[in-house]
């Protein structure tokens, strides 16, 4: 177990009141949060979204990605279902950090795609560690979920870590002229399951 649970409080949102629960990584001190809606202690699979931190998309309304759109859609969907969990996974820019993400954006402005830009900066295409999310679920007492994702890698890593995934539910929102190339790269180079209007 890489995490400990450290704090929780009520968090009112436009879609209802969630409970926000803070976790700390034992080795690095990095923090992550879970937003929990309704009763998650039942035996049925719990609707769950793993959302990787994206300051530019989540807070600054960037159209370069689909992150902010996915965050809002997932919270709406969880609230509509009456129960669920959003894990906010604080590994910015596929875990290369905010400043390196901006450097990667600059390379994309010169014509590279997201994978090429990360690699030119000396990183893998995706540096994220989703096993932390499995630990968060276990600390919440949840081991059976319906996962809101387009990314098969999340399914694979969680299953390997002992989480049962009964269903993968697509979350395809936010396609726009500014992120067409980004989404196509996700689909064609990273294996995300997307049905794009512009190939």
Q: Which residues are annotated as a binding site for GTP?
A: 49-53, 70, 92-94, 114, 149, 154
Q: Is 103 a catalytic residue?
A: no
Please give the annotated binding residues, written as ranges: 49-54, 65, 67, 70, 92-94, 114, 149, 154
DSSP 96: T
Binding residues for Zn(2+): 54, 65, 67
126, 129, 135, 168: the catalytic one is 126
Place of tokens 């949102």: 13
d(CA 161, CA 34): 18
Instruction: Name the residue among 176, 8, 171, 12 with its Cα closest to residue 79.
Output: 12
The single residue of 58, 66, 113, 128 carrying the catalytic annotation is: 128
Has 126 been annotated as catalytic? yes
Q: Under DSSP, is residue 140 helix (H, G, I), strand (E, B) or coil?
A: coil
Please give the torsion angle defined by the CA atoms of residues 140, 145, 148 and 149, in that order, rounded to the nearest 10 degrees: 100
Opening angle at CA 37, ends 31 and 39, nearest 5: 115
- Residues marked as catalytic: 126, 128
């Amino acid at each position: 177990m890489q995490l400990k649970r450290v704090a929780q409080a009520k968090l009112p949102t436009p879609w209802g009141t969630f409970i926000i629960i803070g976790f700390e990584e034992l080795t690095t001190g990095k923090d992550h949060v879970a937003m929990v809606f309704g009763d998650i202690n039942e035996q049925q699979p719990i609707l769950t979204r793993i959302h990787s931190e994206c300051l530019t998309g989540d807070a600054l309304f960037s159209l370069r990605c689909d992150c902010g759109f996915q965050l809002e859609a997932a919270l709406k969907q969880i609230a509509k279902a009456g129960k669920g969990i959003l894990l906010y996974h604080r590994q910015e820019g596929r875990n290369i950090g905010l400043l390196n993400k901006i450097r990667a954006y600059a390379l994309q402005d010169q014509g590279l795609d997201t994978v090429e830009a990360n690699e030119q900066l000396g990183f893998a295409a995706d540096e994220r560690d989703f096993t932390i999310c499995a630990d968060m679920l276990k600390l919440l007492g949840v081991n059976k979920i319906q996962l809101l994702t387009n990314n098969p890698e999340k399914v694979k890593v969680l299953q390997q870590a002992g989480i049962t995934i009964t269903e993968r539910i697509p979350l395809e929102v936010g396609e726009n002229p500014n992120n067409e190339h980004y989404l196509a790269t996700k689909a064609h180079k990273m294996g995300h399951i997307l049905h794009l209007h512009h190939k």
